Amino acid sequence: MKPINVGLLGIGTVGGGTFTVLKRNEEEITRRAGRPIRITTVADKNLVLAREVAGNDVKLTDDAFSVVTDPEIDIVIELIGGYGVARELVLKAIENGKHVVTANKALLAVHGNEIFAAAQEKGVMVAFEAAVAGGIPIIKALREGLSANRIQWLAGIINGTTNFILSEMRDRGLPFADVLKEAQALGYAEADPTFDIEGVDAAHKATIMSAIAFGIPMQFEKAHIEGITKLESIDITYAEQLGYRIKLLGIARKRDDGVELRVHPTLIPAKRLIANVEGPMNAVLVQGDAVGATLYYGKGAGAEPTASAVIADLVDVTRLHTADPEHRVPHLAFQPDQLQDLSVLPIEEVITSYYLRMRVEDQPGALADITRILADSGISIDALIQKEPAEGESQTDIIMLTHQTVEKNANAAIARIEALDVVEGKVTRLRLETL
């Protein structure tokens, strides 16, 4: 049978891994796909490096637009990244009737609605398993494996850089800045790690998963995003003493009045499997009404793990290349005309529990004043630690875990607590999920 011709845009880490795995497992992949899949053209600005990776049997070019308009190309793999030229290339490929496979979570989270609408109109597929959690097949699980379920919520450790940093901070008691330098030296963090450590990368991925889980448009601009840069080692220690681990979670929860979509450091009970995901690994926990909780774990980045997801998409697209577009799996799991117009709720309306740490004068009535403020806001306390003051000091730490409440109530209570004369500085507040 005639091979499927693939144009590869970008032959860096993931592109090189895709080329290598596709060549190494060519026979197995052909047996699965029903016909050969061959990368016939590679576009990259660095032609010397591209030739080293791809060899002499592939056409090379530094003009990516020539690939997306080439009538001989059936599928375009976009691995350039970013929002700009990648968007132009993907839309041009779709306009020319080509299927697209991409690992570009930022592109889809921000421009996915436009891209999927264009693909639907043109009758082509846009596949993006590699855009979320690297080699973990979470997109296929949400879109197909769990299609009998009402997805109630999902929570994911979906950024390996931050998970490595938090694991090291907990295990070794080191401050954030020191562990970040180590992560950069080991290659787990980029020279500019902003997207990772500020939670933006995780928010891109959580946005994509929320759209598929709940059948809603991409709404990245409404996501609440907090990173780990302000997290202190002392809070990781206190959380551990209370039986919790702190992880940067991407959380999406469906409610009757909308969807919670948020990324932030989160306390999780240490006994939960997801709390024990360490180092640069990823994991996604999904709660469905029929199946209950399911956990997906694996490598969230790297050349070959991500290539695994890219090639799985290639196989899927090849199998369905000639299928009636009406009978393909929809991009966002639900039929395009069946997406719900559910808005993402503002963070003030989120319902969760809280970890509160405050520096307080060690004097009679101080704790009573604090608990009275919480009670006035309808917030009940689940656990409390009051540390003994260090020798020669008049202040001590009070750590509280609350039961669930609406965030705006917690904000109001914290503002009143910070105004007390017995409380020094700001209250440290972290969200807590029992999952």
Catalytic residue positions? 205
CA distances 269 to 78, 154, 230, 244, 276, Å, are 39, 16, 21, 4, 10
Q: Within 13 Å and on the Cβ side, how many CA atoms surround 27?
A: 0
- What does the alpha-carbon distance between residue 263 and residue 269 come to, in Å, rounded to a whole number? 18
Token pair of 159, please?
């950024």
Q: Exposed, middle or buried, 100 (CB in 10 Å: 0-12/13-18/19+)?
A: buried
CA 96 to CA 178: how far, in whole Å? 49
Nearest to 432 by CA among 296, 260, 249, 273: 249
Asked if residues 248 and 228 have their Cβ atoms less than 8 Å apart, the reply is: yes
**What distance in Å separates the CA atoms of residue 56 and residue 63, rounded to the nearest whole number?**
18
Torsions phi, psi for 246 (to 5 deg): -105, 125
DSSP 344: B
Dihedral, 371, 377, 379, 380 alpha carbons, nearest 10: 50
Token readout for 210 is 């929320």
Report the C-alpha gap between 345 and 3 in whole angstroms: 47
Number of Cβ within 10 Å of residue 96's Cβ equals: 15
Task: Tell me which residue has tokens 């929809």.
Answer: 330
CB 195 within 8 A of CB 202: no
Picking from 151, 289, 290, the residue whose alpha carbon sits closest to that of residue 210 is 151
What are the start-end ranges of the E strands in 270-320?
281-288, 292-299
Whether the CB-CB separation of 301 and 134 falls below 8 Å is answered with yes
Q: Where are the alpha helices (DSSP H) in 346-399?
A: 366-376
